[in-house]
Amino acid sequence: MDDLRAAFPVFERLAYLNAGTNGPVPHVAVEAAATELRQQADTGRGDQAFFEERVLAPVDELRRRVAALLACEPDELALTDSTTGGVNAVLSMLELGPDDEVLTSDEEHPGVLAPLGAGMGRRGFEVRSVPFDQLPAEVGPRTRLVAASHVSWITGRVVDGAALAAAGAPVLLDGAQGLGAVPVDVRALGCDFYAASGQKWLCGPNGLGYLFLRAERIGELVPAWAGYGSLAHTERPLDLVLHEDARRFEAGVVAPHQSAWALAALDVLEGFGIADVHERAAQLAAHLASELEERGLNVAPRGNSTLVSWESPDPAADTVALREQGFVVRHLPGRPYVRASVGAWTSEKELEGLLALAA
């Protein structure tokens, strides 16, 4: 673990426990990105070599490696700008109207709820919000889509993917607190769509996300937002000859310093071992939760995840006070919780320090 931890400069200065917002940044990722910045300045961004070697090749590699983390095919993975971007992409493509219901939960992020709010206003579908744990039981005959978290950003609870899939409606999971944090197998989860972040538990840059779309769905779906990247043939764009794979959902270009950062961060995590990253993080988080409870704090009901939320009379003030002591956690708008994000990079000593201050 010391090797993993030493890869992240922030831990020399802070007890950084907020990967659920943005992950810690490895030193090698900064170096890789800086090299690509210099390269763009030195040799430009406008010839064939730039596009083939600096833009497309790293994106192909990223697609392969992130697909492996999701247990899907590279053809099923679109690069997006964020989890929110993935959710918007899916919602704007599906034919949903006034007779349809989208089922969601009471623990969702604005990255799911804002797209749903915009869609219901525009297209008249209904959004029904139910307690997170009751999602599978609440799927009804009008439910055309379930849009909910894989791992709740509020409590760290984990959705019962198998039960949800068995309920029969298509499922879009918000994987912002899933990918990189816990093992993900999109087929075992039974989802049609899985939207995830690059900048959180994968320690990549802001501005890069991932969207899994089940192969069987891709051919029937036309992106509502299209661009140069969506097209298999670019000479007659109005004819919209789309890529046959998930690239049809990609409109833009990933800057080389962004992809280089993402790849270097994956190197760090894979160097430690992704399974070990997941296992150690979950163990430490469970340890923190039980220690907080032992000290009399109310910990929000959670699952086998990397998030631990506990009640506080003033979570915002607690967050500020902890920051002054060098501990970076967060509070959650409109909720009674302070939330710590525990990674494989977290030390036992940090958790002891947090316990001493929080409890």
Interacting positions 188-247 with its own copies (CB under 8 A): 199, 205-207, 222-228, 230-231, 234-240
Residue count, binding to its own copies (CB under 8 A):
87
Q: Which is nearer to its own copies, 134 or 234 (CB)?
A: 234
Site for its own copies in 311-330 (CB under 8 A): 320, 323, 328, 330
Interior CA angle at 194 toward 102 and 341, to 5°? 105
When asked if residue 4 is in the footprint of its own copies (CB under 8 A), the reply is no
Q: Is 343 in the site for its own copies (CB under 8 A)?
A: no
Q: Is 6 in the site for its own copies (CB under 8 A)?
A: no
- Report d(CA 10, CA 354) in Å as an integer: 17
Q: Could you say whether residue 105 binds its own copies (CB under 8 A)?
A: no
Closer to its own copies at the Cβ: 63 or 330?
Answer: 330
Q: Is 253 in the site for its own copies (CB under 8 A)?
A: yes
171 SS3 class: strand
* Greatest distance between any 2 Cα atoms in the chain: 66
Burial 259-282, CB ≥16 within 10 A → b, else e: bbbbbbbbebbeebebeebbebbb
β-strand pairing of 330-331 with 337-341: antiparallel
Q: Which is nearer to its own copies, 3 or 235 (CB)?
A: 235
| 132 Cα distance to chain centroid | 18
Interface characters, 45-84, with its own copies (x: CB under 8 A): xxxx-x------------------------------xx-x
Of the candidate residues 33, 62, 78, 308, the single one contacting its own copies (CB under 8 A): 33
Of residues 117 through 146, those in contact with its own copies by CB under 8 A are 117-122, 127, 129
- Candidates 5, 22, 144, 355: give the one binding its own copies (CB under 8 A): 22
Q: Is residue 30 a contact point for its own copies (CB under 8 A)?
A: yes
Q: Which stretch binds its own copies (CB under 8 A): 30-38, 136-144, 183-191, 297-305?
A: 30-38
Strand-pair category, 307-311 with 209-213: unpaired
Toward its own copies, which CB reaches closer, 76 or 81? 81
- CA-closest candidate to residue 270, choices 64, 56, 58, 47: 64
**Cα-based angle 176, 214, 123 (whole degrees, multiple of 5):** 75
**DSSP 3-state assignment of 14?**
coil
Q: Which of 258, 305, 309, 346 binds its own copies (CB under 8 A)?
A: 258
In contact, 292 and 299? CB cutoff 8 Å:
yes
- Closest distance of CB 234 from its own copies, Å: 5
As measured in angstroms, the least distance from the Cβ of 185 to its own copies is: 27
Give, to the nearest 10 degrees, the angle between helix 27-43 and helix 256-272: 150
